Chain A
Amino acid sequence: MADVKPLVEVRGLAKHYERRGNPFARRRGASNAVRAVDGVDLTIRRGEGVGLVGESGCGKTTTGRLLLHLIEPTGGQIVYDGEDLSTMNVAQVKEFRKRAQLVFQNPFDALNPRFTLYRSLVEPLSNAGVPEDEHETRILRALERVHLRDAERLLDKFPHQVSGGQLQRIVLARALVLDPEFIVADEPVSMLDVSVRAGILNVLREAKRDLGLTAVYISHDLALVRYVCERTVVMYLGRVMEDGPTEDVVESPAHPYTKALVAAVPTPDPQQEHVALPILPGRPDATAVPSGCPFRDRCPEAHARCAEEVPAAHEIAPGHVVHCHLFES
């Protein structure tokens, strides 16, 4: 796949948020910023499913929003299909919005409660200027892809009249109705019950396979990411810790943070071992990120250098990159 031109290239991406604080200190130039995303490099190839995982505050949601040009980065660059997102004009942004779609986390909030499901589905088509005689086929095709039963009977209903699983399928259909090539799904199933979740995950897998979609799934759930993504990117406090094929990242995690994260995931197997987590006490605090490696104050293998230098990317296997001084060859 190395010869395939990447769809998205991210270099040194940063998003800092100014916090309220001491206005005098701010005037003196002392920065009070929360570094939600701080120097992220990412290459997403066409047709690839990439999982962004990490705990609350690691910057995964902010990264997703930056990728869709929903917020402006503080620094760095996102090149989408050869085009720098920050230099697009209005017409180009409009074109980009047809090609790249967001799947919302909470299906109960994602649709206008006063619109029928039909209206929610037809709206993106009208906005994108799709001729009216194509609407029906487009909508029915999208509904078929998300395997919504009795779809036609449901279209005249309002969001509160259908179940969570049906609603999430509509949200998904709405994202697919413009035939996008790139989707970002932010915790697409976290609000749903297990029995319903499995169906949505299967739809996501199929849509990716059948439509050749390029997809970024944002989730705190490593098991879910393993199910739908061939590549996994682990983030901690605004930075990438590890990036590689999902199988490798889960089966043989290299970064000390990934090791702790993988070890912490409970499985439905009652025989699983209860081992101590390889992590020091504490919690990620985005308002007080340690110098050097952001994980160093909780890393059992941290040494002096980790406080001084942000670790560079070290490729430990083809396509498997670890940001940790331990892997300097």
Chain B
Amino acid sequence: MLLETNDLTIGYRTASGALRAVEGVNLAIPEGEIVGLVGESGCGKTTLARSLIGVMAGNANIERGEIRFQGRDLVSSGARYWKDRRWRDIAYIPQSAMNSLDPVYRVGDQLLEVLIRRGGMDRAKAKRRAEELFELVGIEANRLRDFPHEFSGGMRQRAAIALALALDPTLVIADEPVTALDVIVQRQILDTLDDLQKRLGISVLLVTHDISVVAYVCDRVAVMYAGKLVEEGPVDTVLGSPVHPYSMGLMNAFPDLGRASRTLVPIEGAPPDLHDPPAGCRFAPRCPFVVDACSEPPEIEAVDETHRAACWRMGEAEALRKDASEVTTWQT
């Protein structure tokens, strides 16, 4: 496993009290695969993704757990070691590409800075590498002299990808890389990301709220709900025959251009307030399949060798899936 988190728990101190945005998460990113991290607003997916590069908000801290990268725990290895992994081994593409590019510097200069200061290259070599990187992500090399505002949204995203790939990382974390883009540009960026991942053999953690993006490019997917990992496995399995009721709900609520006649099934209610989460399964207040056992939090357990889920009723998944596709099931 390239990267593995064990029991990772991240808390925030807020004006209205402490909360845990990520709790007891065991995420695994295998070598050479694209893993989707999917969930809705506030589920903790961005907090989790950012913790992997050791860059978190000032009021956040890792309360317990490990982040093992190539076998070594980053949390206990000290800030220095972690910082050295950044860019070189683990790179990050932030939610909005505009945020990763400084508006007052030429895009090329920003690439050079990373290559020279972090990569230790001399100027001539760094220049050649910058041109190579632009070509790699599909921008003409003469655009290196442009300022970020001269780029379209899609080009900025490509530049952010070039920046992330600058020092040949083995893992790239992309946080909602296509969210604000138009559908045609979105598709082109996803194709670029997919192609680069295959050509360079890197691993990618793709954070998104969009299941169709996961279906399009990811090999595996991890589903988060209210700070917990609820299901994880190969994309075909998790999207095709989900085991956790929340995953079922997500699939049934998603409008599919290919299947128009199907009625969308909303998940009633809203995610819990993480200042005061339910004691048992966090999805229980919205779940139509609640039983007494759900007042205890379920552990994430193996469904088979490649597929895990955290639900007391995962043995009955097939029957639950059938019920979950009916609108009336969710109207409790």
The answer to whether B184 and A264 have CB atoms under 8 Å apart is yes
**In angstroms, how far is the closest chain B Cβ from the Cβ of A97?**
31
Besides A223-B255, A261-B184, A267-B257, 14 other CB < 8 A contacts? A55-B183, A193-B40, A195-B267, A196-B266, A199-B266, A221-B255, A223-B256, A226-B257, A250-B257, A265-B183, A266-B187, A268-B211, A268-B215, A268-B239
* Per-residue B-contact encoding for A269-288, CB less than 8 Å = 1, 0 else: 11110100101000100000
User: A198-B265, A202-B264, A261-B183 known; A270 and B254 CB under 8 Å?
Assistant: no
Question: B2 at the A/B interface (Cβ < 8 Å)?
Answer: no
Question: A154 at the A/B interface (Cβ < 8 Å)?
Answer: no
3 interchain residue pairs of minimum CB distance: A199-B266, A195-B267, A198-B264
Query: What residue in chain B is nearest A267 (Cβ atoms)?
Result: B258
Query: What residue in chain A is nearest B152 (Cβ atoms)?
Result: A283
* Residue numbers in A under 8 Å from B40 (CB-CB): 193-195
Q: Which of A220, A226, A266 contacts B216 (CB 8 A)?
A: A266
* Residue numbers in B under 8 Å from A149 (CB-CB): 268
* Per-residue A-contact encoding for B190-203, CB less than 8 Å = 1, 0 else: 11001000000000
Query: What residue in chain B is nearest A54 (Cβ atoms)?
Result: B182
Question: A163 at the A/B interface (Cβ < 8 Å)?
Answer: yes
User: A165-B270, A266-B190 known; A198 and B256 CB under 8 Å?
Assistant: no
Q: Which of B183, B190, B214, B263 contacts A222 (CB 8 A)?
A: B183
- Complex: A173 Cα to B195 Cα, angstroms: 46
**In angstroms, how far is the closest chain B Cβ from the Cβ of A145?**
16
Query: What residue in chain A is nearest B262 (Cβ atoms)?
Result: A227
**Interface size of B in residues (CB-CB distance below 8 Å):** 45
A/B interface sample: 18 pairs, CB < 8 A: A55-B183, A56-B182, A163-B270, A193-B40, A194-B209, A197-B255, A220-B182, A226-B260, A247-B260, A264-B183, A266-B215, A266-B216, A268-B211, A268-B215, A268-B251, A268-B256, A269-B215, A270-B215
* Residue numbers in A under 8 Å from B327 (CB-CB): 202
The answer to whether B264 and A201 have CB atoms under 8 Å apart is yes
**In angstroms, how far is the closest chain B Cβ from the Cβ of A295?**
12
- Complex: A118 Cα to B306 Cα, angstroms: 51
Question: B185 at the A/B interface (Cβ < 8 Å)?
Answer: yes
* Per-residue B-contact encoding for A16-58, CB less than 8 Å = 1, 0 else: 0000000000000000000000000000000000000001100
**In angstroms, how far is the closest chain B Cβ from the Cβ of A85?**
30
The answer to whether A277 and B209 have CB atoms under 8 Å apart is no
* Residue numbers in A under 8 Å from B235 (CB-CB): 270
Question: A326 at the A/B interface (Cβ < 8 Å)?
Answer: no
* Per-residue B-contact encoding for A184-227, CB less than 8 Å = 1, 0 else: 00000000011111110110000000000000000011111011
- Complex: A55 Cα to B239 Cα, angstroms: 28
- Residues of A participating in the B interface, judged by any CB pair closer than 8 Å: 55-56, 149, 163, 165-166, 193-199, 201-202, 220-224, 226-227, 246-247, 250, 260-262, 264-272, 274, 277, 279, 283
Question: B236 at the A/B interface (Cβ < 8 Å)?
Answer: yes
Question: B328 at the A/B interface (Cβ < 8 Å)?
Answer: no
The answer to whether A201 and B185 have CB atoms under 8 Å apart is no
The answer to whether A55 and B251 have CB atoms under 8 Å apart is no
Q: Which of A193, A269, A270, A277 contacts B187 (CB 8 A)?
A: A277
Residues from 239 to 285 in B contacting A, C-beta threshold 8 Å: 239-240, 249-258, 260, 263-268, 270
- Complex: A270 Cα to B255 Cα, angstroms: 15
The answer to whether B255 and A196 have CB atoms under 8 Å apart is no
**In angstroms, how far is the closest chain A Cβ from the Cβ of B209?**
7
Query: What residue in chain A is nearest B180 (Cβ atoms)?
Result: A56
The answer to whether B253 and A195 have CB atoms under 8 Å apart is yes
Q: Which of A56, A220, A267, A283 contacts B215 (CB 8 A)?
A: A267
The answer to whether B256 and A267 have CB atoms under 8 Å apart is yes
* Residue numbers in B under 8 Å from A198 (CB-CB): 252-255, 264-267
**In angstroms, how far is the closest chain B Cβ from the Cβ of A224?**
5
The answer to whether B240 and A222 have CB atoms under 8 Å apart is no
* Residue numbers in A under 8 Å from B212 (CB-CB): 265-268
Question: B61 at the A/B interface (Cβ < 8 Å)?
Answer: no
User: A194-B209, A202-B264 known; A264 and B187 CB under 8 Å?
Assistant: yes
**In angstroms, how far is the closest chain B Cβ from the Cβ of A190?**
11
The answer to whether B260 and A265 have CB atoms under 8 Å apart is no
* Residue numbers in B under 8 Å from A56 (CB-CB): 182
Question: B188 at the A/B interface (Cβ < 8 Å)?
Answer: yes
Question: B213 at the A/B interface (Cβ < 8 Å)?
Answer: yes
User: A165-B270, A283-B154 known; A274 and B256 CB under 8 Å?
Assistant: no
- Complex: A228 Cα to B38 Cα, angstroms: 26
The answer to whether B253 and A279 have CB atoms under 8 Å apart is no
* Per-residue A-contact encoding for B12-23, CB less than 8 Å = 1, 0 else: 000000000000
Residues from 195 to 239 in B contacting A, C-beta threshold 8 Å: 209-216, 235-236, 239
- Complex: A279 Cα to B212 Cα, angstroms: 21
The answer to whether B184 and A193 have CB atoms under 8 Å apart is no
The answer to whether B270 and A196 have CB atoms under 8 Å apart is yes
The answer to whether A270 and B266 have CB atoms under 8 Å apart is no
The answer to whether B239 and A270 have CB atoms under 8 Å apart is yes
- Complex: A227 Cα to B257 Cα, angstroms: 8
* Residue numbers in A under 8 Å from B6 (CB-CB): none
